[in-house]
């Protein structure tokens, strides 16, 4: 069994999509003969962790879960990409997986040349990196490799917020003005306890975070209904009130709805997984556009929530769209499995050289 360290473990993030992604990374790696012996939480700066640097030199490979981090030369993006040359100097294969790539500098590109392989979530990211002379493969988001919920009788429309606070306020106003025609759904989830990840400090921190989250959710569900014009300071409480504690419950809620209007990337991927019709609102990178282009649903993206709701009468998937979704999800899951198999093969081949 190969040993690996995972970087940018987002499972502590209070977000169903991130938690499903990390769960799939562990499962698919294990199936391919890779055991993750340590997982670095998101925003953990390995450059300042001397003990972690020594551990990197002892494992067979490093995996970086890029998700939506690698864009605009962000600090978190630089921390992750700078790991590649560090690993190469120590002859440790380093792989960027499940990532976006957008608007990064040539300095970032040069560091990325040290990756053993790069697997991006969409063709837009692949094309941008290719313009800098770097090859990559496309493997759609790893949530699409999860087990879908069982099919259910569908009814009712849902609206979900966005990465942006002002967009979330827009979604909330739509919900309040819809006079019962919409139900609000938050993608927020309870944080997961970081047990067995190799960081004792983060374990205790995650326990505190879980306690605070339960308390916040309890209080939010007992508050008076939020007004139509939702202040930014109340967005967190609103998200807790309309949340589901587990990913299974969240997926089941999608599976019984007729359709969803959302500005969240992972809400879109989970709609695809559950074959739930949706309309999407653009997010902070090209990740949603890239996803919909790949599965042939580019006509399902709107510039604002009001326009999407005005077209809700046609939200149902056509027979052709449903077939396209099934093919895309099936192909995405197969690509995800093959990615980890290929990574394991590459590492073993390098070890024999």
> Could you read off the pLDDT of 176-219 as tens digits, one per residue?
999 999 999 999 999 988 888 998 888 998 999 999 999 999 99
Using the predicted structure, report yes or no on whether residue 335 has a pLDDT greater than 90: yes
Q: What is the pLDDT of residue 202?
A: 87
What distances in angstroms separate CA 263 from CA 98, 168, 284, one per listed residue? 20, 8, 10
Q: What is the pLDDT of residue 193?
A: 87
Percent of all residues in the chain with a pLDDT value above 70, rounded to a whole number: 100
When pLDDT is averaged across residues 169-176 and rounded to a whole number, the result is 97
Angle, alpha carbons 226-231-236 (nearest 5°): 75
Using the predicted structure, report yes or no on whether residue 175 has a pLDDT greater than 80: yes
Q: What is the pLDDT of residue 252?
A: 96
Angle, alpha carbons 58-65-346 (nearest 5°): 55
Q: What is the pLDDT of residue 259?
A: 98
Using the predicted structure, report yes or no on whether residue 285 has a pLDDT greater than 80: no
When pLDDT is averaged across residues 231-240 and rounded to a whole number, the result is 95
Phi, psi torsion values for 36, nearest 5 degrees = -80, 115
Tens of pLDDT, residues 36-89: 999 999 989 999 999 999 999 999 999 999 999 999 999 999 999 999 999 999
Using the predicted structure, report yes or no on whether residue 27 has a pLDDT greater than 90: yes
Distance CA 191, CA 15 (A): 8
- Give the three-class secondary structure for 248: helix
Question: DSSP assignment of 19-79, as one string?
Answer: HHHHHHHHHHHHHTTEEEEEEEETT--GGG-HHHHHHHTTSSEEEEEEET--BTT-HHHHH
When pLDDT is averaged across residues 137-147 and rounded to a whole number, the result is 98
When pLDDT is averaged across residues 162-189 and rounded to a whole number, the result is 96
Q: What is the pLDDT of residue 281?
A: 96
Q: What is the pLDDT of residue 28?
A: 98
- CB neighbour list of residue 28: distance below 8 Å, 6 or more residues apart: 142, 145, 336, 337, 339, 340
Q: What is the pLDDT of residue 353?
A: 77
Using the predicted structure, report yes or no on whether residue 12 has a pLDDT greater than 90: no
- Torsion, CA 240, CA 246, CA 251, CA 256, rounded to 10: -70
**Average pLDDT value over all residues in the chain:** 95
What distances in angstroms separate CA 270 from CA 17, 221, 248, one per listed residue? 8, 25, 11
Q: What is the pLDDT of residue 97?
A: 98
When pLDDT is averaged across residues 134-157 and rounded to a whole number, the result is 96
Q: Answer for the pair 324, 13: CB distance below 8 angstroms, yes or no.
A: no
Percent of all residues in the chain with a pLDDT value above 90, rounded to a whole number: 91
When pLDDT is averaged across residues 277-299 and rounded to a whole number, the result is 92
Q: What is the pLDDT of residue 284?
A: 74
According to DSSP H, which parts of the chain are helical? 16-31, 50-56, 75-81, 83-89, 106-112, 123-130, 165-177, 200-220, 235-241, 247-255, 265-273, 287-294, 305-310, 319-352
Q: Which domains does the chain have, with CATH numbers?
A: 2-145+332-352 (3.40.50.2300), 157-329 (3.40.50)
When pLDDT is averaged across residues 213-237 and rounded to a whole number, the result is 94
Distance CA 323, CA 87 (A): 42
Q: What is the pLDDT of residue 13?
A: 85
Query: What radius of gyration, in Å, describes the C-alpha atoms of the chain?
Result: 20
Q: Answer for the pair 118, 94: CB distance below 8 angstroms, yes or no.
A: no
The residue among 166, 139, 345, 175 whose CA lies nearest residue 260 is 175
Distance CA 251, CA 16 (A): 9
**Which pLDDT band, with edges at 50, 70 and 90, does 126 fall under?**
very high
Q: What is the pLDDT of residue 201?
A: 85
């Amino acid at each position: 069994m190969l040993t690996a360290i995972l970087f940018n473990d987002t499972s502590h993030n209070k977000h169903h999509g991130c938690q499903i992604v990390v769960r799939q990374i562990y499962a698919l790696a294990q199936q391919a003969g890779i055991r993750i012996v340590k997982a670095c939480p998101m925003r953990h700066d390995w450059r300042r962790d001397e003990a972690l640097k020594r551990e990197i030199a002892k494992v067979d490979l490093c995996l970086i879960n890029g998700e939506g981090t690698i864009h605009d030369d962000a600090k978190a993006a630089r921390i992750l990409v700078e790991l590649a040359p560090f690993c190469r100097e120590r002859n440790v294969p380093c792989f960027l997986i499940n990532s976006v790539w957008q608007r990064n500098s040539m300095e970032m590109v040069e560091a990325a040349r040290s990756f053993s392989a790069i697997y991006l979530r969409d063709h837009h990211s692949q094309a941008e990196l290719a313009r800098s002379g770097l090859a990559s493969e496309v493997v759609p988001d790893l949530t699409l490799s999860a087990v879908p919920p069982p099919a259910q009788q569908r009814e009712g429309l849902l609206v979900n917020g966005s990465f942006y606070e002002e967009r979330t306020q827009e979604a909330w106003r739509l919900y309040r003005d819809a006079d019962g025609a919409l139900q609000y759904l938050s993608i927020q989830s309870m944080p997961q306890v970081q047990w067995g990840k190799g960081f004792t400090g983060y374990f205790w921190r995650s326990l505190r975070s879980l306690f605070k989250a339960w308390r916040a959710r309890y209080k939010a569900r007992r508050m008076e209904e939020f007004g139509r014009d939702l202040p930014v300071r109340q967005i967190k409480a609103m998200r807790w009130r309309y949340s589901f504690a587990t990913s299974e419950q969240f997926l089941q809620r999608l599976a019984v709805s007729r359709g969803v209007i959302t500005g969240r990337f992972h809400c879109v991927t989970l709609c695809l997984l559950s074959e739930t019709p949706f309309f999407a609102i653009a997010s902070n990178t090209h990740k949603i556009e890239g996803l919909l282009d790949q599965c042939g649903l580019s006509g399902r993206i709107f510039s604002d929530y009001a326009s999407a709701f005005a077209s809700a009468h046609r939200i149902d998937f056509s027979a052709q769209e449903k077939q396209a979704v099934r093919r895309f999800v099936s192909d995405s899951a197969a690509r995800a499995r093959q990615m980890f198999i290929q990574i394991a093969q590459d590492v073993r081949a390098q070890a024999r050289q």
